[in-house]
Homo-oligomer: A and B are copies of this chain.
Amino acid sequence: MKLIPSPFAPAHFPDLPIVHGVRAATGSRGFYAARGLTRDDVFLFAFDEGTSCAGVYTVSNTASADVLWCREALKSGAGTASALVVNSGNSNAFTGPKGVLKNDATLKAMGDALGVAKETCFIAATGVIGEPLADPNYVGSIVPELAARLAAPDWEAAARAFMTTDTFPKGAGRSFDLDGTQINIAGIAKGSGMIAPNMATMLSYVFTDAAIAPALLQELLEDITDETFNSITVDGDTSTSDTLMVFATGACGMSPITSSDDPRFEVLADALHAVCLELAHLIVKDGEGASKFVTITVKGAVSSQSAKIMACEIANSPLIKTAMAAGDANWGRVVMAVGKSLEPIRMDELSIWFDDVLVAQNGSRAPDYSEAAASAVFAKPEFTITVDAGVGDQSHTVWTCDLTHGYVDINGAYRT
């Protein structure tokens, strides 16, 4: 089926900086040829020696063969990376022994072409679940050709190569000064269904030429993930292939950051956080069928975790998501979602705002409730739902989109 572009699609792909120490090439292995599409569907990234990496993966019990490999490589390679190969069109999930054979062949091709150790090679795949590849070397066979074409990354080409039901390529970046050294960060991401904590169903890769020790980078990435990629949801479904990785080449020439006490750490952390948040928001804005981008904050909770659970119940409720789609300011359904979370609240202290319009206060409809004012908020393409649970001072924010006819259409036709 023809995908209708998200209303939030940016006019053009952002200008992302050159990240020193990173080379890339994209190509087509023909995964989409059967659907009559001529497009790239594989990319290879190669990293300078000494590149640190960190990764966060799906928590699913049916994780893909690729995810299982990456978890193992992250350990056995001690957080060093030399190459990355990702394909779209087939997720290599639930493919049993055949999935492992595909990985072995791909990893061997990477090692042979680049002369690097297997445990420094990372892979991922996204697409239909459960369709084993007839030829284990289907992806690996294009690696030599890609390796011969490695060059400074064309970020947009890479971002396009791993799109599935995405309607626009997603990228974000930053360049900033760190003690006289220019640091560059570029990231790409793909969605756009099976998006829920933990993790958002997606693949995302962030590249920087900063220098940072692997263990510290891993710790930082996990913290960032909690407030970015693990705080978005499109449909509450968690994928078998979710992957977020950061590669830090150190090619900018700075001395490595090895401790969070290093004053440069916070600057780098903030920049990485900003890039990850931007990519996470782009995934929601390209959520399947999305017509609204909604920020949901729960405050006054006993803990940040409790606030997050309540915010996710609101964000994942099909009744609230369809009301968003229709522009129906049905705040009673927000009450329902908070109630079904079973998290601690005080109903007689519970208040709800749509943007800055108070719709419910102290356990019932706000005294000066205005249907017109509430509806005006829900008519906007982007708005905020805020809930005060009335029991504490902790909060959390998640981001979601609405549930539209487009979602029903896209997901009924995904495999065709």
Contacts and interface: CB of A to CB of B under 8 A. Distances in A.
A322 B407 contact: yes
Which of A61, A316, A328, A404 has the most chain B CB atoms closer than 10 A to its own CB? A61
Given A131-B365, A347-B62, A335 B412 contact: no
B194 A129 contact: no
A331 to B, nearest CB: 6
- A contact face: mostly helix, strand, loop, or mixed: loop
Interface string A69-101: 000000000000000000000010111111100
Contacts of A339: 58, 60-63, 238, 240
Contacts of A235: 317-319
A323 to B, nearest CB: 6
Interface stretch (A250-258, A271-279, A356-364): A356-364
Interface in A26-79: 58-63
Interface in A171-219: 193-194, 196
Given A61-B343, A328-B413, A335 B130 contact: yes
B129 A62 contact: no
B319 A94 contact: no
B319 A237 contact: yes
Nearest to A362: B96
A68 to B, nearest CB: 10
A93 B62 contact: no
Contacts of A194: 319, 336
Nearest to A234: B318
Interface in A156-177: none
B363 A325 contact: no
A416 B97 CA distance: 54
A160 B99 CA distance: 55
B364 A94 contact: yes
A336 B412 contact: no
A326 B323 CA distance: 22
Interface in A391-411: 403-405, 407-408, 411
Interface of A: 58-63, 91, 93-99, 128-132, 193-194, 196, 235-240, 316-319, 322-323, 325-328, 330-333, 335-345, 347-348, 350, 360, 362-365, 403-405, 407-408, 411-416
8 contacts: A61-B341, A61-B344, A62-B347, A62-B350, A95-B365, A96-B363, A239-B336, A326-B413
